[in-house]
Amino acid sequence: MVIIMNADATAQNIKEVIEVIEKAGLQAKVMEGEQQKIVGVIGDKTRLAMVPFDAMDGVDTTVQISKSYKLVSREFHPKSSVIDIDGVKIGGGNFVVMAGPCAVESREQLLESAEIAKKGGAQFLRGGAYKPRTSPYSFQGLEEEGLKYLAEARECTGLKIVTEVTEVEAVDTVAAYADLLQVGARNMQNFRLLKEVGRANKPVMLKRGLAATLNEWLNAAEYIMNEGNQNVILCERGIRTYETYTRNTLDLSAVAAVKHLSHLPIVVDPSHGTGKWRMVKPMAFAAVACGADGLIMEMHPNPAKALSDGPQSLTPENYLELMAGVKKLYAFLQESGLAIDHL
Ligand code: PEP
Ligand code: MN
């Protein structure tokens, strides 16, 4: 961080700024320009996060040079993180697929979905038991009953379970059943929830908020890691733009950007990212090609009867075909040396 002083800042003004910096245990370095003086801060400036330098006498403005997140950043941890979820690794060259219905609707629907997900080669079964729906009249999820079906599906197939937790009060319950806790787009900046999952003993997949910048998203991940939970996976699921044809605009450039900014694994959700099942395969292939660490996709035994997100859900046939393509593409990229290497 550098603090730019006003042209008419007095020596006393500069002295006061330096005192604040040194009191926090950091070093201050004064640089004299032709017009203005600049005070550079050396050291861990998170210790100065609460100081409103801009409000001090003689200060013109402050400029952040390093990022406001630290634990999440690649500068802090240069090697890509590998998250080990009970033997299933993600990140650092380990690719995973999570597939299943948007919502757990019944025992039969979920067990059937789990068998299909496994047949296609997914490592995780997805399915929401607590559903954050836009309308209060839409299906809200089976809650703990749904979690029990997810646990049963894990027993039957050996798949890991990823499912959303929507509120602080439900974290312990969801963590008792899930292998991976999902924080959804709508809750990306629910800071109490982020802190709570940061204290949970389970890995967390943090979806990008509907209108979140990369900086806001990575800071949200910092909340989780700052509570002690280092097992965080990011998920790009599309953002709100002026385009209305698609449900969201899938920002695949976020994969390349996040890989530069952070060591955390990032998966792509082409289902919510587009809202259209026809677009899921091309975007899934594109996600593989740009170096994502995995995919999360909605698949339903009968999308036409789905209680949630049917239009973006793959049929079992489409899912199996997509998975065959993903495997071929992944292998081709590895063998040809064209795989984007984010190690
Ligand atoms: C979901 O995964 O079903 C979901 C609600 O996703 P998002 O939070 O990305 O909208
Ligand atoms: Mn959904």
Give the ligand 1 atom nearest the CA of 237: 9
The pLDDT value given to residue 43: 86
Are domains 2-63 and 83-336 of this chain identical in fold?
no
Model confidence over 139-162: pLDDT tens digits?
A: 999 999 999 999 999 999 999 999
Query: Cα of 258 to ligand 1 centre, how many Å?
Result: 20
Task: Give CA–CA dist 117/123, Å, rounded.
Answer: 8
Query: Cα of 132 to ligand 1 centre, how many Å?
Result: 8
Q: Domain coordinates of the chain in residue numbers?
A: 2-63, 83-336
Task: Give CA–CA dist 167/171, Å, rounded.
Answer: 7
Helix, coil or strand: residue 212? coil
83-336 under CATH 3.40.50.1000, yes or no: no
* Count of C-beta atoms within a 10 Å radius of residue 170: 18
CA 274 to chain centre: 17
Residues of the chain with pLDDT under 50: none
| Identity of the amino acid at 147 | L
Q: Which distant-in-sequence residues (6+ apart) come within 8 Å of 282 by Cβ?
A: none
Task: Give CA–CA dist 142/67, Å, rounded.
Answer: 40
The pLDDT value given to residue 10: 96
Residue 182's nearest CA partner among 137, 240, 141 is 141
**Which of 272, 280, 298, 308 has most ligand 1 atoms within 8 Å of CB, for mutation?**
272
**Which of 182, 210, 239, 268 has most ligand 1 atoms within 8 Å of CB, for mutation?**
182
The ligand with the least distance to the CA atom of 205 is: 1
Give the ligand 1 atom nearest the CA of 207: 9
The shares of helix, strand and coil residues in the chain, as percent rounded to the nearest 5, are 40, 20, 40
* Residue nearest (by alpha carbon) to ligand 1 atom 10: 185
Query: Cα of 184 to ligand 1 centre, how many Å?
Result: 5
Superfamily of domain 2-63: Phospho-2-dehydro-3-deoxyheptonate aldolase; domain 1 (3.30.70.1140)
Query: Cα of 9 to ligand 2 centre, how many Å?
Result: 55
Q: Mapped to the 3 state alphabet, what secondary structure does 164-182 carry?
A: ECCCHHHHHHHHHHCCEEE
Model confidence over 176-230: pLDDT tens digits?
A: 999 999 999 999 999 999 999 999 999 999 999 999 999 999 999 999 999 999 9
* Count of C-beta atoms within a 10 Å radius of residue 139: 15
